[in-house]
Amino acid sequence: MISKKMLDALNEQIKHELYSAYLYLSMAAYFEAGNLPGFAAWMKGQAKEESEHAFKFYGYINEQGERVVLEAIDKPPVDFGAPVEAFEQVLEHEKLVTSLIHKLYAIAVEEKLCQ
C-alpha cells in the first residue's frame, strides 16, 4: 500500500509523461509538415517512449491496489522554430520531467519506501 501523497504524485507523473508524449508527437507533426522525416521519426520514437513510462506508473499504481486517476493534459504548442530550437525545448522539458522523478524519489525516501 502507498500513501495518498505518493499516490497523488504518481498520478500527477502519469499526466506529465502523457503530456511529454503529446508534446513530442506535436513536434513530430511539425517536422513532418516541414519535410524533415528523420526528425519526425525520432520525435515519434520519443513520444512512444514517454507513453511507455506513463503505462509503467499506471501498472505500478494498480499493483499497489490503488486507483489511477487521469488528469487533463494541456494542449502542446504547434510551432517550434528551427530544429535546433525544438531540440533545445526538448532538453529543457526533459530536465523538468527528470526533476519530477527526483521528487517522487524524495517522497519514497521520506516514506521509507526505499533506502
pLDDT at 83: 96
Q: What is the pLDDT of residues 66-98, one digit of tens each?
A: 999 999 999 999 999 999 999 999 999 999 999
pLDDT at 115: 60
Quote the CA–CA distance of 68 and 10 in Å, as a whole number.
9
pLDDT at 1: 80
With cut-offs at 50, 70 and 90, classify the pLDDT of residue 111: confident
Which residue did the predictor score with more confidence, 2 or 112? 2
| 42, part of any domain | yes
C-alpha count within 13 angstroms, C-beta hemisphere, residue 72 = 2
Question: What average pLDDT is seen over the chain?
Answer: 96
- Percent helix, strand and coil across the chain, each to the nearest 5: 75, 0, 25
| 73, part of any domain | yes
| 57, part of any domain | yes
Quote the CA–CA distance of 22 and 38 in Å, as a whole number.
18
Domain count, the chain: 1
Residue 65: give its domain's CATH number.
1.20.1260.10
The secondary structure of residue 73, as a DSSP letter, is -
Residue 80, all three cell numbers: 517550434
What's phi and psi for 89, nearest 5 deg? -65, -40
Structural domain harbouring 38: 4-110
| 56, part of any domain | yes
| 115, part of any domain | no
Q: What is the largest CA-CA distance in the chain?
A: 50
* Residue that is written with C-alpha cell 494498480 in the block: 62
- pLDDT mean over 25-51: 98
| 8, part of any domain | yes
With cut-offs at 50, 70 and 90, classify the pLDDT of residue 59: very high
